């Protein structure tokens, strides 16, 4: 960790793009995939708390954190491809993929694409698991237009984004990160618009992909989430063979909002996994 309190940043050339990656800790690898408009910083405190038992590798998606933008629009499919290339570049095997929001959808797709490198998933309010219908598609397009306005310099965007994030990360434990995300909202707005556009596409529904996986999965869900509410996902989670469920008094990211409870659930899940082969 450097003097600023941030974990060291490594730049990897992935799919022709310089991608920023933070790596710290020791032990089995946990690869962390963040929500749109966030960044690898989301996982700094988690890595600090549990880095004595695990190696944490956290990516900055393009146009977020310290990674530059790219021409390809944001989507779970694109992020899954980038994550898979990071696993290859760092030669990581038997990893736990921890994904939040679009990062959860990317984790599911990456696990399907790279079964030789992924041994389990921790899905934190994951995207891709809600049935697509006209209302969902309309809502996603509405959100995309709101972020497009923000990207074009709408004067009301910063105040709206601040109110929005009071709902996304409502608990005081996440205030440090919420303030950073809100401060970077105008910079992230173009990527957020792209991501929300992608959520309205038929390919955003990856429930069939999840159903095809045969690896341990932990659904780690915040019950205060208004964007990806538990009641729309719980049936799928309960029907997923061998899956475990941990519910939290949190919004969109329990590892930020209820850290002690999340850590306990994560350690219980990870402790039950077969040790990776040397």
How many angstroms separate the CA atoms of 22 and 123, rounded?
Answer: 20
Average pLDDT on 28-44 reads 98
State both tokens at 157: 């965007």
In the prediction, which pLDDT does 5 show? 45
**Rounded to 5 degrees, what are φ and ψ at 277?**
-70, 140
In the prediction, which pLDDT does 132 show? 87
Structure pTM?
Answer: 0.95
Digit-coded pLDDT (tens) for 93-146: 999 999 999 999 999 999 999 999 999 999 999 999 999 899 999 999 999 999
275 compared with 196, residue with greater pLDDT? 196
DSSP state of 10: E
Average pLDDT on 150-174 reads 97
How many angstroms separate the CA atoms of 12 and 178, rounded?
Answer: 27
User: With bands split at pLDDT 50, 70 and 90, how would you rate the model's confidence at 161?
Assistant: very high
**Is residue 208 within a helix (H) or strand (E), and if so which, with residue range?**
helix 207-212
Kindly report which listed range (3-12, 74-83, 135-144) carries the lowest average pLDDT score: 3-12
In the prediction, which pLDDT does 277 show? 53
Domains of the chain plus CATH, in order, are 9-130+204-271 (3.40.50.1820)
In the prediction, which pLDDT does 241 show? 92
* pLDDT of residue 4 exceeding 80: no
The mean pLDDT value of the chain amounts to: 94
User: With bands split at pLDDT 50, 70 and 90, how would you rate the model's confidence at 9?
Assistant: confident
* pLDDT of residue 1 exceeding 70: no
State both tokens at 182: 């809100």
């Amino acid at each position: 960790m450097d003097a600023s309190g941030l974990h060291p940043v490594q730049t990897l050339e992935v799919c022709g793009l310089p991608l920023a990656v933070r790596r710290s800790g020791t032990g089995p690898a946990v690869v962390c995939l963040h929500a749109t408009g966030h960044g690898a910083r989301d996982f700094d405190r988690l890595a600090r708390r549990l880095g004595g038992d695990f190696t944490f590798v956290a990516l900055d998606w393009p146009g977020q954190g310290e990674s530059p933008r790219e021409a390809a629009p944001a989507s779970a499919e694109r992020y899954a491809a980038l994550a898979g290339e990071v696993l290859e570049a760092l030669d990581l095997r038997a990893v736990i993929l921890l994904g939040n929001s679009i990062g959860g959808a990317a984790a599911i797709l990456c696990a399907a694409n790279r079964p030789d490198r992924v041994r389990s998933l921790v899905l934190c309010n994951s995207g891709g698991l809600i049935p697509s219908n006209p209302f969902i598609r309309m809502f996603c397009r509405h959100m995309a237009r709101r972020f497009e306005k923000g990207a074009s310099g709408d004067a009301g965007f910063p105040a709206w984004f601040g109110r929005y994030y009071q709902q996304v990360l409502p608990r005081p434990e996440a205030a440090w990160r919420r303030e950073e995300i809100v401060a970077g909202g105008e910079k992230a707005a173009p990527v957020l618009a792209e991501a929300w556009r992608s959520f309205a596409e038929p390919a955003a529904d990856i429930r069939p992909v999840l159903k095809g996986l045969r690896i341990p999965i932990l659904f780690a869900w915040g019950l205060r989430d208004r964007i990806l509410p538990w009641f729309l996902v719980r049936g799928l989670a309960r029907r997923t063979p061998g899956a475990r469920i941990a519910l939290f008094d949190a919004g969109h990211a329990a590892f930020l909002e209820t850290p002690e409870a999340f850590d306990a659930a994560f350690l219980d899940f990870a402790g039950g996994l077969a040790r990776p082969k040397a």
